[in-house]
Amino acid sequence: MNNEAMNNVCVIADGVLGDEIKLVIEKSGYVIHSDSLGADVIVEAIIADKDKKRSTLIRAAASAPKALILTSTLNASATEVASWLDQPNRVVGWAALPPLEKSKVIEIQNPKGLIHSASLRDASRDPSGLDRACEFFSSLGKEAVTVNDTVGGVLPRVVANLINGAVFAVMEGVASPRDIDQAMRLGTNYPHGPLEWGDKIGLDQVLGIMNALHEAHGERYRPAPLLVQMVQAKKKFYE
């Protein structure tokens, strides 16, 4: 179905998720470029800073007019990202979390308002963006699962809230970070304690997710003030 080459991949990112997806892409035999010029696929994971995400994506999209744009939905929905760009029908959202090597699935999201629109039907003379995204992720050994477009995706939203809640608990002196992590690993069988997981993902990235959820959904998603301070001070829970 798809004759379109996806040889040249450009990854633009600002954190661990970006580093990890880059590794997975390289291991799958793709050539990675840091420059988007002439890219077939642009994989974006700029999560800490939404303004930078926007300006970088606008520039990258212009320099690679035919590229499939895979934007991380951790801090902006695919619909919002598509609204920034001239050809929204080549935008597909994706979401995952570190550690990526153990994860078998990747979420993908189609921008809203496009699935039945004339523009996508036109685009589907080429394979649709969603099909190409599925194909790309399965070539990385990950199953792509489509969900409705929403900021934060599924897994990042759940885990960022676990981490944010654990940071509130630290801030309120409920227990030490070590005891909180220990309790969650042993008491609930979580794969990582929430605070060590936050360190692994990057606290700036977790804050990026929470800021975007807060903006979209309100008070329930307010970032813990300690999380904000940890990012400002460039600190981790475990140094």
Partner 1 sequence: MSIKHIGIIGSGTMGGGIAQVVAQSGFDVILYDVESAMLARAISNLTSTFNKLVEKGKLKQEDAEATLARITTVTSLNDLAGCDFIIEAAPEKLDLKQSLFSNLESLISIDSILATNTSTLSVTQIASGCKRPQNVVGMHFFNPAPLLPLVEVIAGAVTADSVVTTTLDLAKRMGKTAVQVKDVPGFIVNRVARPFYLEALRLLEEGVADHATLDKLIRDGGGFRMGPFELMDLIGLDINYAASISVYESYFYEPRYRPSLAQQRMVESGRLGRKTGKGWYDYNKNEQ
Q: What is the contact surface with partner 1 in residues (CB under 8 A)?
A: 96-97, 99, 102-107, 145, 147-148, 150, 154-155, 157-159, 161-162, 164-166, 168-169, 172-176, 179-180, 182-184, 186-192, 194, 218-220, 222
Q: Which is nearer to partner 1, 159 or 212 (CB)?
A: 159
Q: Closest distance between partner 1 and the C-beta of residue 194, in Å?
A: 6
Question: Tokens 């970070």 sit at which residue?
Answer: 177
Phi and psi angles of residue 178, each rounded to the nearest 5 degrees, phi first: -65, -45
Question: Tokens 């992720």 sit at which residue?
Answer: 137
Q: Closest distance between partner 1 and the C-beta of residue 184, in Å?
A: 6
* Cβ atoms 151, 73 nearer than 8 A: yes
Q: Which is nearer to partner 1, 67 or 221 (CB)?
A: 221
Q: Closest distance between partner 1 and the C-beta of residue 20, in Å?
A: 13
Q: Which is nearer to partner 1, 53 or 157 (CB)?
A: 157
Beta-sheet strand order (sheet of 105-109): 31-33, 8-13, 41-45, 68-72, 91-95, 105-109, 143-146
Q: Closest distance between partner 1 and the C-beta of residue 10, in Å?
A: 24
Bridge partners of 32, per DSSP, are 9
